[in-house]
A and B are shown apart, each in its own frame.
Chain A
Amino acid sequence: MKKIWSSALALLVSCFAFAVSAETSSAVDQYQLNLRKGVTDISGQVYDLHMLMFIICVVIGVLVFAVMFWSMIFHRKSRGAKPANFHESVKVEIAWTIIPFIILVVMAFPAAKTLIAMEDTSEPDVTVLVTGSQWKWHYKYMDNDVEFYSTLATQPEQINNKFDKGENYLLEVDRPLVIPTGSKVRFLVTSDDVIHSWWVPDFAVKKDANPGFINEAWTNVNEPGIYRGQCAELCGKDHGFMPIVVIAKDPADYQAWISEQQEAQRKAKEEEQRLLAMNMSMEELMSTGEQVYLRTCAACHQPNGQGLPGVFPGLAGSEMALNDIQGHIDIVVNGKAGTSMQAFGKQLTMSEVAAVVTYERNAWGNNTGDMIQAKDVNAVINGK
Chain B
Amino acid sequence: MSEAKHDQKDKNGKLVFKLVATVFLMFGFAFALVPLYDVFCDITGINGRTADSAAVYESVEVDRSRKITIEFITRTNTGMPWEFKAQTRKVEVFPGEMNQVDFYVKNATNKDYVAQAIPSVSPGTAALYINKTECFCFNHQPLAAGAEAVMPMKFYIDPQLPKDITFFTLQYTLYDVTASAQDVAMNQG
Q: Which residues of A contact B (CB under 8 A)?
A: 119, 121-124, 127, 129, 131, 142, 188, 190, 192-193, 211-216, 330, 333-339, 341-343, 345, 380-383
Contact = CB atoms under 8 A, between A and B. Distances in A.
Contact of B78 (A192, A382, A383): A192
Most-contacted residue by chain A among B79, B109, B175 (CB, 10 A): B79
Contacts of A211: 77
A193 B108 CA distance: 24
Interface string B155-189: 00000000011111101010110000000000000
Nearest to A380: B109
Contact of A121 (B110, B146, B164): B164
A117 to B, nearest CB: 13
A343 B166 CA distance: 35
A349 to B, nearest CB: 17
Nearest to A342: B78
A338 B175 CA distance: 11
Contacts of A335: 78-79
A142 B73 contact: yes
Nearest to B49: A213
B78 A214 contact: no
B156 to A, nearest CB: 20
A127 B77 contact: no
A381 B76 CA distance: 14
Contacts of A123: 69, 166-167
Contact of B123 (A121, A127, A142, A341): A121
Given A129-B73, A213-B47, A213-B48, A337 B120 contact: no
Interface of B: 47-49, 69, 71, 73, 75-81, 89, 108-110, 118, 120-123, 145-146, 164-169, 171, 173, 175-176
A63 to B, nearest CB: 39
B169 A383 contact: no
11 contacts: A124-B167, A188-B73, A192-B78, A213-B120, A215-B122, A334-B79, A334-B109, A335-B79, A337-B78, A337-B80, A381-B81
B121 to A, nearest CB: 8
A249 to B, nearest CB: 24
Given A213-B48, A334-B78, 4 more contacts: A212-B173, A334-B79, A334-B81, A334-B109
Given A337-B79, A343-B78, A216 B169 contact: yes
A123 B121 CA distance: 15
Most-contacted residue by chain A among B78, B120, B165 (CB, 10 A): B78
A257 to B, nearest CB: 21
Contacts of A192: 77-78
B110 A383 contact: yes
Contacts of A333: 81
Contacts of B175: 212, 337
B4 to A, nearest CB: 36
A185 to B, nearest CB: 14
A188 B122 contact: yes
A326 to B, nearest CB: 9
A122 B78 contact: no
A334 B169 CA distance: 26
A190 B171 contact: yes
B83 to A, nearest CB: 9
Contacts of A342: 78
Contacts of B47: 213
B78 to A, nearest CB: 4
A192 B164 CA distance: 30
Given A121-B164, A129-B73, A383-B108, A214 B48 contact: yes
A214 B121 CA distance: 7
A337 B37 CA distance: 26
Contacts of B173: 190, 212
Contacts of A345: 81
Nearest to B121: A214
A278 B173 CA distance: 35
Contacts of A214: 48, 73, 120-122, 169, 171
A383 B165 contact: no
Nearest to A340: B78
A122 B73 contact: no
Nearest to A343: B78
A336 B108 CA distance: 17
A188 B72 CA distance: 12
Nearest to A341: B78
A214 B119 CA distance: 9
A211 B123 CA distance: 16
Given A121-B165, A214-B122, A337 B176 contact: yes
Contacts of B76: 343
